[in-house]
Structure 1
């Protein structure tokens, strides 16, 4: 399994994995195991790669088995849910910071092919992306739909993200979570006894 910063040549394979688990195209029986809400175009992924260096992938042979997106709030601001989160940032504090678009970034979506769930790949790609983004931002922020219980458990129990707030948007209930990017995942796990 190769972890890498995605290039333009990886976009098609990322979209193949994305469509498999995106809410509009996911198989009904896979929905209970987690899904991706936001849809992405080839153009948006091109911008994510070229302007943000924010698409991290796990590639096995010819296929992308996992991806993590991470980018500035400016990149995400065209989506209404992120505009709402940006407006709320100054009300939140985490790891000694009053949150802002300068000291935090939006992590996610993240997607792991179901063949690799529970294998440690989520932790590996999270740590790979965290390490790269930690040079730019002290705080990672994300949101999870409250009905996406698998994602919630993975992010709080395996990765150690902390719930900061709850909010509603378009009749959905979301949890907003954060992580201190100066802490490596292995350090976090050893101090909390979670493996």
Structure 2
């Protein structure tokens, strides 16, 4: 039975890191990238712990094994992960419903991943339901960026309720789609 909760200790954070490592783009074949999706950022325990101290991550566990996660990140952490600084710079310039994104109190999905043996069972959507339940009283919406080439992730996010709001190309020539799940005006 899958249990959903917030991450509370180093063992759970290490479980996130283990799952992340198995799904990093750099370690996957082209076929896996295309059919299964991927994660881009490789966190370390110190950074993951720091993010979790601001807002706890959502995890799904099968027994003691972390089988999925949704990372929580706020504006407070915008300079903690250098590869994500361009994303925050884009957020500062984008208008959503007549206001700059930076004028809202938003939650950034730092990353989401489901263990390959647990995909197709609704865990992705259930993790996001727990994420919304845990954070929506305090934040207006969840926002993240997804590599345009990560079609599995783009489609999964759309099923949950995320909408594309803008795209951009980063300094490394990677095209990103920014998606937003408006918690105040959605299902």
TM-score (normalizing by structure 1)? 0.85
Query: 2:156 maps to what in 1?
Result: 154
Distance 1:46 1:80, change over 3 A: closer
Deviating beyond 6 angstroms after TM superposition, the runs of 4 or more aligned structure 1 residues are: none
Which residue of structure 1 aligns with residue 25 of structure 2? 23
How far apart, CA to CA, are the structure 2 residues paired with 1:49 and 1:79? 14
Unaligned runs of 5+ in 1: 189-195
Give 1:79 shift.
2.8
Partner of 1:191: none
Mapping of residues 104-183 of structure 1, within 5 Å: 104-156=106-158, 158-169=159-170, 170-182=172-184
| Map 1:1-195 → 2, pairs under 5 A | 1-8=2-9, 9-26=11-28, 29-32=31-34, 33-50=36-53, 52-94=54-96, 97-100=99-102, 102-156=104-158, 158-169=159-170, 170-182=172-184, 188=187
Pairs aligned (count) = 183
Change (3 A) 1:100 1:115: same
Unpaired runs of 5+ residues, structure 2, are none
Residues in 1 aligned to 2:13 and 2:89: alpha-carbon distance in whole angstroms: 31
Distance 1:27 1:20, change over 3 A: farther
- The structural deviation recorded for 1:101 is 6.3
**Which whole-Å CA distance do the structure 2 matches of 1:58 and 1:183 have between them?**
26
**For the residues of structure 2 that align with 1:62 and 1:145, how far apart are their CA atoms?**
31
